[in-house]
Amino acid sequence: MSDNGLTTLRLEPGDNFVLTPPIEALCQRAVAYLDAGYPIHLAGPAGTGKTTLAMHIAALRAKPVMLIYGDEEFGTSDLVGGEKGILSKKLVDNFIHSVLKTEESVRTQWVDNRLTTACKNGCTLVYDEFSRSRPEANNVLLAILEEGVLALPESRFGESYMRVHSDFRARTG
């Protein structure tokens, strides 16, 4: 789904999704915690339905969903964003024809990654297999979850601290 340039997921259960009373009770509990502002961590043996449940809980919140898969190659910039490409601007002003004024500026262009987009727009973040990422890459989540602040590198154009949107919630699996 893409609204105003924001690419997020809108999830719906498939035809073969089974919702037994215990699963439903677990989902309701998880949503209650999320609504109260707590992140949820689903842990358990392989193949027991953590990812499926995380998607279902995210769908119940009816907010845009951002999905990230942990990866040991991840650095902080794979979560928050980084400098990609160069933006060059040239202004040629010849309004008074005997005067030619030119101005040229070049700067690197910052592109937000999924975590920053999720914080900015109040998404429900599903961070699947988050423990596959190295702890130093995931450090940025500490301030997001504890203080509600996303610390961004100084090189980012605009603010270097961003207050996390009040609808932002996180779930890991």
Ligand X SMILES: Nc1ncnc2c1ncn2[C@@H]1O[C@H](COP(=O)(O)OP(=O)(O)OP(=O)(O)O)[C@@H](O)[C@H]1O
Contact set with Mg ion (CB under 5 A)? 50-51
Of the two residues 114 and 171, which places its CB atom closer to Mg ion in the complex? 171
Which of Mg ion, ligand X, none does residue 46 bind (CB under 5 to 8 Å by kind)? Answer: ligand X
**What are the percentages of helix, strand and coil residues in the chain, rounded to 5?**
30, 30, 40
For residue 63, the surrounding DSSP H or E stretch is none
Contact 54, 9 (CB under 8 A): no
Indicate whether 23 belongs to the interface with ligand X (CB under 6 A). yes
91 binds, among ligand X, Mg ion, none (CB under 5 to 8 A by kind): none
Indicate whether 77 belongs to the interface with ligand X (CB under 6 A). Answer: no
CB of 56 to Mg ion, least distance (A): 13
Nearer of residues 50 and 169 to Mg ion, judged by Cβ: 50
According to the binding rule CB under 6 A, does residue 131 interact with ligand X? no
For ligand X, which stretch binds (CB under 6 A), given 47-55, 65-73, 90-98, 110-118? 47-55
Helix ranges restricted to H, 61-98: 76-80
Interface with ligand X, residue 26, by CB under 6 A: no
Q: Is 41 helix (H, G, I), strand (E, B) or coil?
A: strand
Alpha-carbon span 26 to 165, nearest angstrom? 26
Least Cα distance to 165 among 53, 66, 50, 59 occurs for 66
Count of positions on this chain that bind ligand X (CB under 6 A): 12
Q: Which residue is nearest to Mg ion (CB)?
A: 51
Assigned token pair, 111: 């592109």
3-state secondary structure (DSSP) of residue 76: helix
User: Of residues 9, 51, 78, 148, which one binds ligand X by CB under 6 A?
Assistant: 51
* Amino acid code (one letter) for 3: D
* Residues paired with 152 in a beta bridge: none
Choose among Mg ion, ligand X, none what residue 18 binds, the Cβ cut-off being 5 to 8 Å by kind: ligand X
Q: Which residues bind ligand X (CB under 6 A)?
A: 16-18, 23, 46-52, 173
